[in-house]
Each structure stands twice: as structure tokens, then as C-alpha cells.
Structure 1
């Protein structure tokens, strides 16, 4: 049985919880009412486009047999799981120096150099990979919904419109994550220096990636955020797939 990601509101997403746990969020309270928050994101022309989709009739669609629809749903469920597994494995492998390698390499520290720049680029590279993996899946799910029933075709049309005006805002917010993460990087390194000062021990960059090293801790934090972001990016596709699988 295909495992679908659990439904989640934007403000209760795993990504935001992880950012909050790491004390990386600004001090503002999130908007509690989804409709109110969504209204702040919409322009007048966006609202018109959304209204036109909602007001349009369902119309007719080409008839398909139940067997064909079931086959399409099963194929897309398999594709969803493949992409989900690929994204997860890529993140875990690339964040594990010395283990299996992905095409995105974890930036090992250069002797004596402490710079967040390679890790920001590393995070952004994974963000680009996630975008390239998720978008084709979402397009294929919309196409399948459009051929299923009039109601599901309406859902696919709504997803296109919602994606059009929410994508720029989402991209803007997600682009802030690797920037926010620098606060964690700086805090861990500062704590490391404080510990050296108190203990009188010399610094050893070779030990930074040991299990109790500050950079190893940062690596784990970065991996946790990437996995949470992968979950967030897959949620729209998970919702479309869930609708397709539950079609009567």
C-alpha cells in the first residue's frame, strides 16, 4: 500500500518546527488563520484567476475504464515513492562524509578554514535538485486527474492556478532557509571556541567531524532541515495523489 505524506498546514509543517527547534525563526508569530494569511499573498489578478476556475462548469471528459484509471494511479503512486526515496537517500548520503556518496558532495573543511559559504551552496544545490524532482511528478499527477473525473479535473485546474501565484512566495521563503541556517553554524562554532578557551585545548580541525564535533552537529542539523524541506515540497503532489487514489 502506498504511503502518502500526512496532511499538514503551512504553519505546522515539519520544516517550520525544525527551524523553531534550532531557534532560527524570526520572533514574529505566524498568522493563525490560513485564509487571512493566504489573502496577504494574493494579488487582485490572482484572485480573479482563481475565481474563474471555481466558477467554471465541470464539463465533460473523455471516458476511461476503471482498470485504466487504477493502472495510472498505481503507476503514479510508485513514481511518488521512487522520488521520495531518491530525495531522502540523496540528502542522507551527501550529508554523511566517508559513507556512500551522492553527486552533491558534503564540503569537508579545509585545514584551519571556517566559512559557511560552502554549506550554503551545498544546501542550495539540494534545493535545486528537489525542485527538478518534484515538478514533473506534480505535472503528471495533474494530467492524470484531468482525465479521471470532472471533479478531479477541477482540482487539477485549481492546483495550476494556486501554484502559479504561490510558487514565487514559496521560493522566496525557502530561499531564506540556508541563510537562516548560518545562525546555527556561527553559534556552534562560537560554542566550540568557548569550550577550547575554557579547557585550554588546542583546536584540531580533523576532530570537527568526529561524533562529538561541532561541525558534525551542524551536519546533522542541516540534514534534518533538508529532509523536512523535501517533505514540504512533496506535500502538494501527495495531496493530488491521495485524491486520485481515493477516486470512487
Structure 2
């Protein structure tokens, strides 16, 4: 039996945007240009030609979608996600033994985890695309389209994700300053640091969900193709 795609409450992009935006700094979606206009700013002439070629892509001979292969990819996604979540929940455990007033060790640990998440999700996305190219013309064409979008938007997405480290530094300094100037009754000296680590973990979990969205979308298309196959 084909497994259904895991559903989550709320859109991962919106959740990450809310977490990474300072209070009062949220930009309303209706103030942004339409999706087509925003994409048009990212796609140059060469990208447009690649997109046109992907839309016209014709794979090899028609093939029956193999549900067992798709199920294996779904299990691999779940396993990868759980492994990354365990790594994220360990953030700050070793770093807390160092100088709590220095942000750099926490930033380095966070960047290491962010790179791990990016590499693991990219590898999984590439593997799903490669598999789709052998699962019939419809999925092969979708894999080509996803490859074009992924390549074209790589620089933009990398720039967006890099902004999160700046948000973390601001939050680190704000929590430390607040603890030193006006500590809350009943709190311990290191409580602010534990709170920062929890918030940093929450941001990493939100980023993980965002980075997995394309993989989930590709697998959902595969599941739908299995369902539609005679």
C-alpha cells in the first residue's frame, strides 16, 4: 500500500519566516510582488531556455512506476529527517562548556549543523530526481523541471538561509543583555543561554522542514503517479 505524504500543520516557509523575523518586522505577503514577477527576477535568458527544454523533455521508453522504489525513498526521507532532528536536539550540549558570553562557538556549531542539513537534504533531493528519471516520462519531466528550478534558485536560497545566523546573533546578545541588566525572579544565571539554544534548535528544525519541502513534493508526485497507474 502506498504511504501518504506526511502532513504538517502550517506552511514550513511561513513558520521559518516568522521565527527569523524580529517582532514587528514581518512583511505581509500581499505587499510582495506576485510569484511570477519574483521568479522572473531570478530567471535569466539561459535559465529560461533551460526551463523551456525541461518542459519539452521526453524521457526514454514509457515505464511502469515501481511503487516499491518510491516507498524505499519515502522511508529514506523519514530516516534522514529523524537523524537530523537528533543532531539538532544536541545543539549547544558541548558548546555550553565554554565561555557562555562568547557567541562565536555557538555560531560555529550552528553553522556546522546548517551545512549538514543542507548537504543531507540536497543529496536526498538529487537521489529522488535520479530515481524519477527511470519511472516514466511524466516523472522524468518533473525531475528535469525541479533540477532547473533548484539550480537557478540555489544562490538566492543560500543568501536567504545565511540571514538566519545574523538573527541568531541578535537574539543571543539580546537574551544575554536582558539577563545581565534585569534578571527575572527565580531564574538561574545560565537560563538565558538554555533559552537561546532552544530557539536556535527551533530555527534549525524549521529550516529542515523548508529544505525538505521540495523532496516531499517530488515524492507526492511519485505517489500520485503510482495511484493513477493501472
Normalised by the length of structure 1, the TM-score is: 0.79
Q: Residues of 2 paired with 1:109 and 1:189: CA distance?
A: 16
For residues 64-90 of structure 1, give each alpha carbon's deviation from its aligned partner in whole angstroms, at most 9, with x where no partner exists: 4x5xx0110111010010011111111
Task: Name the count of aligned residue pairs.
Answer: 222
158-167 vs 142-151, which moves further: 142-151
Q: CA deviation at 1:245?
A: 1.2
Shift of 1:63: 2.8
- 2:141 matched to 1:163? no
Question: 2 CA distance for matches of 1:45 and 1:177?
Answer: 30
**Where in structure 2 are the equivalents of 1:169-188 lying within 5 Å?**
169-188=156-175
Question: What is the CA distance between 1:214 and its match in structure 2?
Answer: 1.0
Cα-to-partner distance string for 1:186-206 (whole Å, 9 max, x where unaligned): 11111112215x98xxxx9xx
Equivalent residue, structure 2, for 1:102: none
Number of the residue aligned with 1:108: 96
The correspondence for 1:80, drawn from 77, 90, 98, is: 77
Stretch moving more, 29-38 or 44-53: 29-38
* Secondary structure of residue in 1 paired with 2:102: coil
Mapped pair 1:236 → 2:214: yes
1:141-160 matches, within 5 Å, as 141-160=128-147
Question: Mind listing any 5+ residue stretches in structure 1 that lack a counterpart?
Answer: 98-104
Change in Cα spacing, 1:195 to 1:8, as seen in structure 2 (3 Å) is: closer
Distance 2:5 2:28 in 1: 32
**Residue in 2 that maps onto 1:47:** 48
Aligned: 1:195 with 2:178: no
Equivalent in the alignment of 1:221 = 199
CA distance in 1, matches of 2:110, 2:176: 18
Structure 2 gap ranges (5+) = none
C-alpha RMSD of matched pairs (Å): 2.7
1:21-76 deviation line (CA, Å, top 9, x unaligned): x53x966555252222222222222122112222x253543534x5xx01101110
Deviation at 1:174, TM superposition (A): 0.5
8 A contact 2:63–2:137 mirrored in 1: no
Residue 90 of structure 1: aligned partner = 87
Change (3 A) 1:27 1:136: closer
TM-score scaled by length of structure 2: 0.85
Distance 1:218 1:57, change over 3 A: closer
Change (3 A) 1:8 1:135: farther
Give the distance between the partners of 2:189 and 2:43, measured in 1 at CA: 46
Change (3 A) 1:150 1:231: same
**Whole-Å Cα distance in 1 between the matches of residues 10 and 74 of structure 2?**
19
Contact 1:4/1:242 (CA < 8 Å) preserved in 2? no
Give the counterpart of 2:107 among 114, 120, 124.
120
Structure with the bigger RCO (C-alpha within 8 Å, sep 6+) is 2
